[in-house]
Amino acid sequence: AQRVTQPEKLLSVFKGAPVELKCNYSYSGSPELFWYVQYSRQRLQLLLRHISRESIKGFTADLNKGETSFHLKKPFAQEEDSAMYYCALYSGNTPLVFGKGTRLSVIA
C-alpha cells in the first residue's frame, strides 16, 4: 500500500532560520513525489515535483530512495513561507496520495 507520512503537524521557525519539512513514503515501486502548498485564503497549488529537480521560491527537495524520504528544505525562511504544506506520492496507476500536511509558521 502507498503511504505518505509527514511527522510534524506544526513547525515553527524564526525568520532567516533554515527550514526542513519532513516527508517519508512507503511504496515498493518507483514513485514520483510532489510538494503542494496552501497559503492562507488561497487554493492548494503545486510547489515542486522531484523529477523537475528545480528550486521554487527557494525551496528544494531531493528524493532519497534509500531512506524513502522527500524532505522539503529552504536555507532561510521568510514570513511569506507560512502555509500548509502537503507531500504527495504518485504511483501512476492510482490517484495521488497525500500526507496529512505540516503547517509551517515563520515567526518574525
Q: What residues line the site for another protein (CB under 8 A)?
A: 6, 9, 32, 34, 36, 42-46, 49, 86, 88, 90-96, 98-101
Q: Measured at the alpha carbon of residue 96, what is the angle toward residues 93 and 98, in degrees to the nearest 5?
A: 145
> Which one, 34 or 59, has the nearer CB to another protein?
34
| Closest CB 92 distance from another protein, rounded Å | 4
Contacts of 95 (CB under 8 A, 6+ apart): none
Minimal distance, residue 96 CB to another protein, in Å: 6
Is the CB of 5 or the CB of 78 nearer to another protein? 5
- The tally of CA atoms less than 13 A away on the side-chain side of residue 3 is 5
